[in-house]
Each structure stands twice: as structure tokens, then as C-alpha cells.
Structure 1
Amino acid sequence: MCLGIPAKVISILDKENGTALVETGGVRREACVSLLSLQGKSINDLIGEWVLLHVGFAMAIIDQQEALDTLALIASLDGIDANND
């Protein structure tokens, strides 16, 4: 199963290579944003945007409410036993 986690773009680390610093759950990490369709915008316009992150790659830009709803859902799953078939 694949899971995409919402993350907020904090800063652009390398414009040429399309990397950014993103944060989710208080954890910051480097992510590749070069797969995103910027639709004529600058890579700097990503700062402050929410993205769907999967294995270090930003797959899509999502709106803030969708990001917060998804993070709340993930947090609510914390107490579920994954081995309970």
C-alpha cells in the first residue's frame, strides 16, 4: 500500500535540481518538487504551499484544508492495531 503525506513547503533548497525543505508533523526533510506542474509559476511560488509527499517526492499541490483533514485522519489511526484482521 502506498501512502502520500501532506507536507508544507518551507523553502526552496536548490532551484536547478528542484529540491525543497518541507515539513509535516514538526519534522523537516528535503523533498523533490521537480515533478510538480507549476503551470507557469515560479518554483519560489511553492513556498507556503501544501504538497502530497510520497517517498521524498512531491506528487501534487493540495489545498490547506485537504492537507489538514488528511493529517487529522492519519493522527486518528494511531491507536488502530494494523495486525487486527
Structure 2
Amino acid sequence: MSQLPRLQGITPDGQVIDLPELAEIQINWDEGLPATLLLSPEHLPGNSLSLEVGSQEDEEDHIEEYGVLVLRPGSCNVLDIEVETHRLDEDED
């Protein structure tokens, strides 16, 4: 398992807060599909950040497909970006 990145949050008034145990942020909008921000996800090699968003629902409002935006630090101040779509397997929650 890769080591989690050092994270800090910044409040609206500018206070810096250390977030040592944060690995995932779940975002639930009032409208639209939920999103998950994963920091150094275990299913991706190396340092990375992924934003996963449901992109298709079935008749029972279960997410069947999700889009993934993956950011990885590259060399010489370059950021590698990948955009993918995945189908959920039947045995996944």
C-alpha cells in the first residue's frame, strides 16, 4: 500500500488544518450523481488522485457506469491526466 499524501485544508478565513488520515472525500450534490475524490487510491499504481463520478443509472437508480479522471504528478512540473469510463461489475457494491 502506498503512503498517503500530506494533506492540508484551508478554511474560508484562511486557517490551515492538517488532515493526516484523509484518504477519500465523498461528494453528494443536491442534484446529480455523487462523486468520490480518492487520494492515492490502492487500485492505481504510484502517486495519483482520482475523481470518480457515476455516469449512467439503471431503472432502479443504481449506478451502472462511472467516469474516472486520474491525475498523476509527472516529471518537470508536468501533470499526467487520464479520463476513463468503467462499468460496475455485478458483484461490486
As a proportion of its length, which structure holds more helix? 1
- TM-score by structure 1 length? 0.29
As a proportion of its length, which structure holds more strand? 2
- TM-score by structure 2 length? 0.27
Higher relative contact order (CA 8 A, sep 6+): 1
